Amino acid sequence: AKQLKLKGISLIEGDILFDNSYFDTIPYGKGWMWDDLEYAFSAPISALSVNKNTCKIYVKPGRAQGEPVIVYIEPKTEFIQLRNDAITGDKDNLTVKRSFEDKRTVIVVKGTFPLNAKTKLFVRSIENPSLYTTFIFTEKLKENGIEITGKIKRGSCEQFQDTLLPHFSEPLIKILYDMDKESSNFITEHILKTIGAETMGPPGTAEKGIKAIERWMNDEGIIKEEFLQKDGSGLSRYNLISPGQITSLLFYLYHRFEYAPEFLTVLPTAGVDGTLSKRMQNEGIKRKVRAKTGTMSGVSTLSGYCVTGSGKVLIFSIMMKDYIAPASYVRNLQDRILQTLIEF
């Protein structure tokens, strides 16, 4: 918006059209759990997205017992409405839910929050990401003194020949770094549909992306046995793959110079960063494992590479499911397995 203002634009006579036709309009993956959809890790997929299609909700206690809690939402936008029914009390039993009304997101805060409590952060997904993005863009235009006479509408950009201001993504390696270190389902799903659109033409779909991946793996002879992939992130309960198939892929990537340096860089490092920053922190194993975690209710996996005391690189894939023990116990067991491998 600031750059448009710098170009001398102060008035837009007409409507703001948003075009999200580069992807299909299916916002979620096959086999995703419906009761996960309000959380950030299940944010909807759209060719037109902003803030990873989420919003942040900050809650702090009021100034006295019985007063409403104080709630801030980022980004500040009319697209998101707030219903604050929570009060300052003795216990922390806050709930933050999101619902939808008139294609917009409503954040509902209920319960009590202690007077001496520190500010608490919740992150929730939003509804209708293309409209969310366009709302925020339009509000930023107005904040920068650009007047708009029309409304926000869905449309097509094909009729327009001139580009006023292109927006470029970060380099792919930076996107992949954030994806793996943060374990971002949002990024993986968007990359999958982008692969589909680039290899088979828009609109990008999960099916097109998966077909392109399967074709590449078949051409390279990486995984010869059948496997099932239904989404990009692994949230789908329909995905089926074995540890042996994962290690075959890891072996291939490790021995290909055009992939290995970047791939090893983006994997979380034990005891240092990403989803492994708080695991395997003792000196005997810290920095000696680079691996990707996988987590769902009743499922915990860890796959990657480790270096033994003699300097050998081992490829591993540990998959655990259907357990009733705490997830922390299962993760600790994985760490102990790797400690044994490193001492091998």
Q: Which two tokens stand for residue 224?
A: 């010869």
Nearest partner of 129 among 48, 203, 73, judged by Cα:
48
Q: How confident is the model at residue 223 (pLDDT cuts 50, 70, 90)?
A: confident
Looking at the predicted structure, is the pLDDT value of residue 306 above 80? yes
Looking at the predicted structure, is the pLDDT value of residue 308 above 80? yes
In the prediction, which pLDDT does 173 show?
Answer: 95
Q: Which domains does the chain have, with CATH numbers?
A: 34-130 (no CATH), 242-344 (3.40.710.10)
Give pTM, 2 decimals. Answer: 0.92
The 3-class SS string of the chain reads CHHHHHCCCCEECCCEEECCCCECCCCCCCCCCHHHCCEHHHCCCCCCCCHHHEEEEEEECCCCCCCECEEEEECCCCCEEEEECCEEECCCCCEEEEEEECCEEEEEEECEEECCCCCEEEEEECCCHHHHHHHHHHHHHHHCCCEECCCEEECCCCCCCCCCCCCCCCCHHHHHHHHHHHCCHHHHHHHHHHHHHHHHCCCECHHHHHHHHHHHHHHHCCCCCCCECCCCCCCCCCCECCHHHHHHHHHHHHCCCCCHHHHHHHCCECCCCHHHCCCCCCCCCCCCEEEEEEEECCEEEEEEEEECCCCCEEEEEEEEECCCCCHHHHHHHHHHHHHHHHCC
Nearest partner of 84 among 102, 72, 74, judged by Cα:
72
In the prediction, which pLDDT does 64 show?
Answer: 95
Task: Please give the backbone phi and psi of residue 12, each rounded to the nearest 5 degrees, phi first.
Answer: -115, 105
pLDDT tens digits along 39-67? 999 999 999 999 999 999 999 999 999 99
In the prediction, which pLDDT does 193 show?
Answer: 99
Q: How confident is the model at residue 102 (pLDDT cuts 50, 70, 90)?
A: confident
In the prediction, which pLDDT does 4 show?
Answer: 84
**289 within 8 A of 269, measured Cβ to Cβ:** yes
In the prediction, which pLDDT does 56 show?
Answer: 98
Average pLDDT over residues 294-310: 95
- Flag the least confident range among 167-171, 261-265, 276-280, 301-305: 167-171
In the prediction, which pLDDT does 79 show?
Answer: 95
Looking at the predicted structure, is the pLDDT value of residue 262 above 80? yes
Nearest partner of 239 among 192, 172, 200, judged by Cα:
192
In the prediction, which pLDDT does 46 show?
Answer: 98
Find the angle CA(244)-CA(226)-CA(236) to the nearest 5 degrees: 85
In the prediction, which pLDDT does 156 show?
Answer: 87
Euclidean distance between CA atoms 68 and 109, whole angstroms: 10
pLDDT tens digits along 138-185? 999 999 999 999 999 898 888 777 888 888 999 999 999 999 999 999
Euclidean distance between CA atoms 44 and 236, whole angstroms: 14
Q: How confident is the model at residue 2 (pLDDT cuts 50, 70, 90)?
A: confident
**46 within 8 A of 23, measured Cβ to Cβ:** yes
**58 within 8 A of 119, measured Cβ to Cβ:** yes
Unique residue bearing structure tokens 């999101």: 98
* 80 to 54, 94, 104, 136, 216: CA distances (angstroms): 11, 19, 6, 10, 42
Nearest partner of 79 among 127, 147, 123, judged by Cα:
127
What does the mean pLDDT of the chain come to? 95
pLDDT tens digits along 184-215? 999 999 999 999 999 999 999 999 999 999 99
Average pLDDT over residues 8-33: 94
Average pLDDT over residues 314-325: 96
Q: Which two tokens stand for residue 104?
A: 């917009």
**233 within 8 A of 201, measured Cβ to Cβ:** no
Q: How confident is the model at residue 302 (pLDDT cuts 50, 70, 90)?
A: very high
